[in-house]
A and B are shown apart, each in its own frame.
Chain A
Amino acid sequence: MSSEWPLWEVFIRGQHGLNHRHVGSLHAPDAEMAMNNARDVYTRRNEGVSIWVVKSADITASSPSDKGPMFEPSNSKVYRHPTFYDIPDEVGHM
């Protein structure tokens, strides 16, 4: 048998209270080994307190060519940002 082990994406929570963040990927035959390998490859220096591994094939990603239709509509909605509103200084911090 010469099939390659599937690819897994690794996410690590750096500290308590932070989100898990994507740090890279690796190959492993199953989730358990992916977890073991992730520990060895991505946390040799105390980089995390928690690890997620997800099969890369199970991730649905937005396509780069959809960048326009996906994200541009929010560009014109400046009123979603606090700086859109002029509040007089007398009112104080808001």
Chain B
Amino acid sequence: MYAQMVKSEASNDDPAKLEAFQARIDAGEKIEPKEWMPEGYRKTLVRQIGQHAHSEIVGQLPEGNWITRAPTLERKAILLAKVQDEAGHGLYLYCAAETLGVSRDEMTEMLLSGRMKYSSIFNYPTLTWADIGAVGWLVDGAAIMNQVPLQRTSFGPYSRAMIRICKEESFHQRQGYDIMMKMAKGTPEQKEMAQDALNRFWYPSLMMFGPSDKDSVHSAQSMAWKIKINTNDELRQKFVDQTVPQAEYLGLTVPDPELKWNEEKGGYDFSEPDWSEFYDVLKGNGPCNRDRIEARQQAWEDGAWVREAMTEHARKRAARRVAAE
């Protein structure tokens, strides 16, 4: 998902305290920032929320790529609003992570140095306008699958950030599907572009849920803590079941010859993505990894003088106010 393969941290805390903590979570209570929590819970959450926040921020780049080239003024305004939302979502999540004792600058530094990750999906390029449709439809669609259950996560600030995000996310997916409908019903060339976008984004979208975590101890711990609600496989299945009929409505073909409805399980059978590609992208070898981090690095450096000037301006104004009193 936006947070992939988040390793959960072991806790070396007092077993009695751990048990009481788990009981609170099992009872459905929310954990708030200043309350006692196991060190592992705190660290895992910082990593997961941080990765989620970074994904929102880096996720602006592939879409920002098309703002100046959107086909109509209306599409441009819509895309601007969507990219602005992603910035907002990143900010909600950074604030949630900060309540756990990590600073915004530390998180930025960890993203830029590669010590914190963002979702693998944003290392793929947006080559045509149809890709903007596919990103909204598939990428935001996959994100929603994960974010809706996370509204019930045990950590209060994370849960509240998720609730705000989910309220806004539906617009993102619908505007993407709207672009796909337009393209799929357009000229043969436009329809071909839509098909090509689906071909390229299908498997990377399936990768967003992360590899199967049936046997993962990390997942078991995170699920017990309710910072992960469903397994990766459950969410991936749900995503496929929901998306295939939507592709059929568009008259597009999901690029999977093995795709077949399975009456018995009440869902589709489908091919796994190429997991070696996934690990390779995570390692930094995707088509756009270097571009993405360079763009973030440059934004951070180019903004330095603005941050400094505003701090100085605020300091001077405060000093002047004191002098006037």
Q: Which residues of A contact B (CB under 8 A)?
A: 1-5, 7, 23-27, 29-30, 33, 40-41, 44-45, 61, 63-64
Other A-B pairs beyond A4-B105, A64-B34, 8, CB < 8 Å: A4-B103, A5-B307, A5-B310, A5-B311, A24-B164, A26-B91, A33-B310, A40-B84
- A63's nearest neighbour on chain B, judged by CB, is B34
- B106's nearest neighbour on chain A, judged by CB, is A4
Within residues 82 to 128 of chain B, which ones have a CB less than 8 A from any CB in chain A? Answer: 84-85, 88, 91-92, 95, 98, 103-105
Q: How far is the CA of A25 from the CA of B307 in the complex (A)?
A: 18
Does residue B168 face the partner (Cβ distance < 8 Å to A)? yes
Q: How far is the CA of A45 from the CA of B91 in the complex (A)?
A: 16
Q: How far is the CA of A27 from the CA of B98 in the complex (A)?
A: 11
Q: Which residues of B contact A (CB under 8 A)?
A: 32, 34-36, 81, 84-85, 88, 91-92, 95, 98, 103-105, 160-161, 164, 168, 307-308, 310-314, 317-318
B160: chain A residues within 8 A (beta carbon):
24
- Contact in complex: B310, A41 (CB < 8 Å): no
B81: chain A residues within 8 A (beta carbon):
44
On whether A1 and B312 interact (CB within 8 A), knowing A24-B164, A61-B34, the answer reads: yes
A24: chain B residues within 8 A (beta carbon):
92, 95, 160-161, 164
Q: How far is the CA of A30 from the CA of B311 in the complex (A)?
A: 8
- Contact in complex: B85, A27 (CB < 8 Å): no
B35: chain A residues within 8 A (beta carbon):
64
